[in-house]
Amino acid sequence: MFLDYNSVTKILRKKIKNAQVTPIFIRVLPVYEDSVDEILIRKYLENMLSMDPNWEMTGVLNVCSEERMNEDMKDMFRKLKTMEFDAAPSLVFAKPNFQPTEELVFLKKRLELNRSEELVNLFRENKEFIGKFKRIRPAKFKVALDSFPDEYAVQNLSPEVKKEVIVDYFYNPRRLRFFITASSIISSPNLGRTINELFDLVILSGKIVRKFLEIKLLTEG
């Protein structure tokens, strides 16, 4: 089975309300109201020698728009930034090995931040998430805040400049939204099952983050 973007929308047709297919990605709106707002799906090759593409799904969870951003929400952004994490399958039983994101490691060192495990602990303790993660063994899994201004997204910035942009955004965030990214190398057989499981992992993760944010914003926002 050849898996193109139109095939993916057909596989996920019962789980999405709408799909916008472009040459480089798909934007879908999930039917679930208690998870991410939208999911961006793309495929790419890790390198020229790769035979099977890597399929990546990024759930976008909007918390606060630019128009509504105030000092309280900027403070909330900085608190949530210390909670970002990556997860990779361990060699034993493929259990998720949670680590701070590369950005957070840099900011911790540069700004002497204290990492919070408040959010990642919810993932550690969620048996459904652990089960799905172990079954899929994602090549990449990341829960992080959008921390890069739109005008720099298409620019080829040096690593040093990127770091300065990230520091500036930490102090002056324009919006508050989470990106939940999961990817997997998908090959025959079981293409449809793997696409569904990857999608379900992003949806479940979005539910965990959204519920956490509702409580966080209610008690501290």
Look up the pTM and report it: 0.93
Confidence of residue 217 (pLDDT cuts 50, 70, 90): confident
Phi, psi of 203 (to 5 degrees): -65, -45
Across the range 90-103, mean pLDDT stands at 92
The per-residue pLDDT for 149 is 83
The per-residue pLDDT for 27 is 97
- The two structure tokens encoding residue 57: 């799904």
- C-alpha 55, offset from chain centre: 13
**Per-residue pLDDT tens for 158-207?**
888 889 999 999 999 999 999 999 999 877 667 889 999 999 999 999 99
- Cβ atoms of 82 and 58 closer than 8 Å: no
The per-residue pLDDT for 1 is 52
- Is the omega angle on the peptide bond into residue 100 within 30 degrees of 0, that is, cis? no
What average pLDDT is seen over the chain? Answer: 92
Residue 57 has pLDDT above 70, yes or no: yes
**Torsion 54-184-145-60 (CA) sign:** positive
Do you know the residue count of the chain? Answer: 221
- Cβ atoms of 63 and 176 closer than 8 Å: yes
The per-residue pLDDT for 81 is 97
Residue 10 has pLDDT above 90, yes or no: yes
Domains and CATH numbers, the chain: 5-95+113-146+174-220 (3.30.1460)
Distances (CA, A) of 9 to 3, 23, 32, 217: 10, 14, 16, 34
Residue 209 has pLDDT above 60, yes or no: yes
